[in-house]
Structure 1
Amino acid sequence: MKRIVTLLFTIGLIVVSCDQRKKDQPRQPNILLIISDQLNWDFFSAMGNEYVHTPNIDRLIKRGVRFDRSYAINPVCIPSRVSMFTGQRPTYFGFHIPKGIENEQVDVRAYVKSHQIASELKTAGYQAYYGGKDHFGWRDYAFKPEDLGFEVYSNGKEYRGVDCVPKAIATLKRHRGEHSGQPFFMVTSLMNPHDICYAHIRDNQFDLEKINERTDGGGWQDLLRESVLANLRIPEGETGAGGFEPIDYYLDNAPPLPDNYLPQSDEPSVISGIGEEGKGMAASFGRYRGQYDSIDWRLHRFAYVKFVEEIDREVGELLAGLEEAGYGDDTYIIFTSDHGEQNGAHQMAGKGFFYDEACHVPFIVSHSDFNETVDSTNLVSNGLDLLPTIFGLAGVQPKVQYEGKDISRVFLGQQSEVDRSYIPVEFSTGMGIVSKDFYYGIYYNGKEHNEQLYDMRKRPLQMVNDALDSTYQKDLTDHRVAFGLVNEQTLSAYKNPEGFYRHFK
């Protein structure tokens, strides 16, 4: 009998000890990832931009850590998003490789099936939800959030405040009812300010015929048209309310032309088109150089403001829903974008260039316990660093040893610096690196001015190619060496093509 009592007492101690360890262990946090599309890193009123009003994103900034040196791994939707949800470089899977290069590549569909990041989090106790824009490849060479193990609450064409956000809020409330003891990882992937791509302009006014033509498909395209026209329409209380004239309203409220409105001197010929066959990138694919005059560019910039304010309203609705579901004080919110927008810089719109406007993206981590903090030192690659950061925040050891860094160690105060001096940026015509003070890139395609160096301390507008300035010889040499090291595996997969290799061998 005495032995039985002793045994029961011992078991009781073990149970108490296990319960105590559970209490001592930090609770896995809820994580909400909000992804915008084509949003510039500094286009927020909280950052002093007087031409845009973003009270809801400002709230994230006011109670968050803002990483001001965050960059897209590739400033285009598909490659950037593929990287965010695989943790690999886009070219690893063959996305946006410069013309003329045939590389060794991994099948992205097979990779995703064997590396289901949401399933890994589920195994660790999370519920994982995805809603909104995916864009993980094209045609038959693509994957879906379901392939990653997510429960999808809003499909890839439901990415607005009228469809994605209400479903996200409903999912949060359902989670509270059905999985109250479990943390969640939720992705809400919204479209704007990408609608700027549909705000066509002709003869100093918005081209309603072209807008209607490009959104004439029914279904999700009806919502696209409604969004574009609603944001461009003159508001009540103004002359011309409800319509799209007079132009004076737009010009009175439009941001001025950017300080780097003119094309860069010694611009890569693949961009300018000078000496090349056919158009350069600046005039193709809706980039509008040579088609827009200064008034058109100001109309473009007005439209961009309105689409930024649209996503801000959607973020506000989502935050209100998060609070209504009871998670407002208990969730880490990560806010970022797949890439930026040229927005008239160098007389171009769109994306895909090795310019700060396209590559530099917001990366904000918000929590009710945080005070506004600006990290202007650490280099962040939102494509490579996102998954390591989410796994780190969740306290989960991923199956893959990622190239990227766990940024959670910085915003949680576990370390002050990320161990890196350079981050890679890939683009469809070349590759580059960003360092503490410089952009350095090599355009593989094009005949002239392929090597570019920009001193972001002295000339952040990237109007001059400092690679041609002899006073930058040491900086140029250092970045050539770093380029070869940072991109060693990619260059090897490319079989070390002369178009890159000749600059740094």
Structure 2
Amino acid sequence: MPKNVLFIMCDQLRWDYLSCTGHPHLHTPHIDRLAERGVLFDRTYVQSPICGPSRMSFYTGRYVSSHGSTWNNIPLKVGEMTLGDHLRPLGIRTALCGKTHMTADVEGMRRLGLAPDSEIGVLVSQCGFEPYERDDGLHPDGPRYPRNAAYDAHMKDRGWQDENPWQSVANSAEDDDGNILSGWFMENADKPARAADEDSETPYITDRAMDFIGEAGDTPWCLHLSYIKPHWPYIVPAPYHDMYGPETHLDPVRDACELTDPHPVYGAFTEERVSKAFCDDTTRTKVLTAYMGLIKQIDDQIGRLMAFLDEQGRTDDTMIVFTSDHGDYLGDHWMGEKELFHDASSRVPLIVVDPSPEADATRGLRSDALAEAIDVVPTILEFFGGAEVPHIIEGRALQPILHGKADTIREVAVSEYDYSMRDVRRRLGVEIRDARLTMLFDGRWKYIFAEGFRPMLYDLETDPDELTDLGADPAFAKVSAQMEQHFFDWTRRLSQRTTKSDAWIEERDTTLGEAKAGILIGYRNEAELREAFAAVDPKNIRTKATRKAP
């Protein structure tokens, strides 16, 4: 059987809301089983704590400031190499079931004459994936978000004739009088969705993934199964809607000291509507009930999927990558949503199951090596035997750790955030070009460079909950300076020369290459040219300059 990869991504799944990562009440035995079969990378950070730019880094293996898709709906520019672009020349079918949050570079495609419905146009528009079924899981009424016709048809087949079943069935509840209660309103989060479990989004997209695997035949494949939950709207069907009551909820990680003279950017985000909502204990309790139920539903579907792989005889030749695009504050640090760099937001689960015999010695390992989202692409590429392309891919393959040959692969993890699209920028009076944050974490110190403001600094050794910002404390100026040096070193990386590799440059005969082509720069006469050639190639010193005219 050929090698295959199943690349599973959840949306907005916190790193610590699995039993294998320490949650005391939310039991996820099927995901735990993946950790037992592979390596759990316990300190993995995304390249941006928001959907679009994070995913573009997952798919390109490049930092946000390299690929340029800095926020949701900012296109990934035509020409950026993606996972599919690296795998297709190897004969690997690279497909999508679920979400990418990709926005196509329509202007760039038009400029290059690429028709959106052409073979290459589709791939460019879909992040390099064959769209077996794309479903970004955001289909409210309105022109901005096109509906998923396949899911609509599925729901109609199940007896739902609603015009928009995503909105009114899968993500809404119903009261005793038959009134529809929108899942967008957080007060409805503890009610069961109108959809039955088997009709809802997570089982549906699992079914579609199994359809792909069953149809794939002997062609090696990489399937990106991208779940759209536990991302909001926070609502889940029965029986998951009331599995996790308040007695199972963790207290919010926050302290009043965080709001005493906070960093201006952090303080502005705590004033956002969603942050205020999560500071209401009643609202938070309802949301956590749904959030935990959504994760339990995902775990059950992972169980179905793994059983299907076993039935298909694919388990022993399929690498499995399980992760999330970012976390969810859930009221921690007086915040909701994501977007800043506390672990609740920027740290994600990452489990890699490598079926290769070389990985047998590390099965069940919980690695504390710093890993990044951009490491997924080179890890998959190496699994399929692809050549390294470090001038394009900035991530690092995880095989040295998977195969027990190394304990670490980097000194610092880096994450970036462009908040220019947020009202926070306007309230702070920050210019668009300056609305940038960059986080660097070295395993102890988490440093956030904030353009135009002082830095933020947290010591996760003495303050693992990240409650005390040391960025304004003169006693830690030296630490801030050291972390700033890491930032300076990182910004000096060469990331835009992607058309030619270092190896190509190394192989060029820079000393005499141009002279061999007849371009003679710096030579005073023909004797000097012949002397230069004789020094490196004494048996063949005849050049274009010495040939006689016919």
TM-score (norm 2): 0.66
**Structure 1 partner of 2:465:** 461
Which residue is 2:42 aligned to? 68
Distance 1:257 1:52, change over 3 A: same
Q: What percentage of aligned pairs have identical amino acids?
A: 26
1:265-414 counterparts in 2 under 5 A? Answer: 265-272=260-267, 280-284=268-272, 287-289=274-276, 292-367=279-354, 369=360, 371-376=363-368, 378-382=369-373, 384-399=374-389, 401=391, 402-414=393-405
Deviation at 1:345, TM superposition (A): 0.5
The equivalent residue for 2:421 is: none
Equivalent AA in structure 1 for residue 383 of structure 2 = L
Show CA shifts across 1:343-385 (max 9, x none): 2111212110121110101111124646210111x21111x21
Say if 1:231 and 1:307, in contact at 8 Å, map to a contact too. no
For residues 278 and 82 of structure 2, the distance between their equivalents in structure 1, rounded to whole angstroms, comes to 45
SS in 2 for 1:472: helix
Distance 1:155 1:172 in 2: 16
**Is contact 1:128-1:151 (8 Å) kept?**
yes
Unmatched tracts of structure 2, length 5 or more: 110-120, 137-150, 152-199, 419-435, 497-550
Which of residues 127, 134, 151 in structure 1 aligns to 2:130? 151
User: What amino acid is aligned across from residue 283 of structure 1 in structure 2?
Assistant: E
Query: In structure 2, what is the Cα distance between the partners aligned to 1:472 and 1:303?
Result: 41
Contact 1:82–1:137 (8 Å) recurs in 2: no
CA distance in 2, matches of 1:290, 1:116: 37
Residue 117 (structure 1) aligned with residue 83 (structure 2)? yes
How big is the shift at 1:228? 3.2
Distance change >3 Å, CA 142–CA 453, structure 1 → 2? farther
Matched with 2:480 is 476
Alignment of 1:40-55 (within 5 A): 40-55=14-29
Tell me which residue corresponds to 1:487: 491
Shift of 1:270: 2.3
User: C-alpha separation between the residues in 2 aligned to 1:393 and 1:466?
Assistant: 42
Query: 2:236 corresponds to which letter in structure 1?
Result: V
Residue 108 (1) aligns with residue 100 (2): no
* Cα deviation code 1:320-365 (max 9, x no counterpart): 2222211122211111111011121112121101211101011111
Higher Rg? 2
Aligned pair count?
396
Q: After superposition, where does 1:167-186 map in structure 2 within 5 Å?
A: 167-175=208-216, 178-179=217-218, 182-186=219-223
**1:442 Cα shift?**
1.7
* Cα deviation, residue 46, structure 1: 2.5
Deviation at 1:127, TM superposition (A): 2.5
Residue-by-residue CA offset, 1:422-460 (whole Å, 9 max, x unaligned): 121101241121112111012226xx6x41110010001
Q: Is the 8 A contact 1:335 1:364 kept in 2?
A: yes
**Is the alpha carbon distance of 1:138 and 1:385 closer, same or farther for their aligned partners in structure 2, counting shifts above 3 Å?**
same
Task: Identify the residue that residue 165 of structure 1 maps to in structure 2.
Answer: 206
Contact 1:340/1:359 (CA < 8 Å) preserved in 2? yes
Structure 1 counterpart of 2:98, one-letter code: G
In the alignment, the residues of structure 2 paired with residue 184 and residue 137 of structure 1 have an alpha-carbon distance, to the nearest angstrom, of 24
Equivalence for 1:259: 253
* SS of residue matched to 2:321: strand
Q: Secondary structure of the equivalent of 1:59?
A: helix
CA RMSD, Structure 1 to Structure 2 (Å): 3.0
Alpha-carbon deviation of 1:398? 4.8
Q: Is the 8 A contact 2:202 2:228 kept in 1?
A: no
Asked whether the equivalents of residues 341 and 349 of structure 1 are also in contact (C-alpha less than 8 Å), the reply is yes
Give TM-score scaled by structure 1 length. Answer: 0.71
* 1:130 correspondence with 2:96: yes
Q: Of residues 448, 471, 475 in structure 2, which corresponds to 1:441?
A: 448
- How far apart, CA to CA, are the structure 2 residues paired with 1:431 and 1:229? 38
Aligned to 1:91: 65
Q: Secondary structure at the match of 2:7?
A: strand
Choose which of 225, 228, 239 in structure 1 pairs with 2:236: 228
Q: C-alpha deviations, 1:14-71, integer Å up to 9, x for none?
A: xxxxxxxxxxxxx973211101111111211133312212111111111110111110
Cα distance, 1:455–1:292 mapped onto 2, change above 3 Å: closer
* Aligned residue runs from structure 1 range 16-35, under 5 A: 29-35=3-9
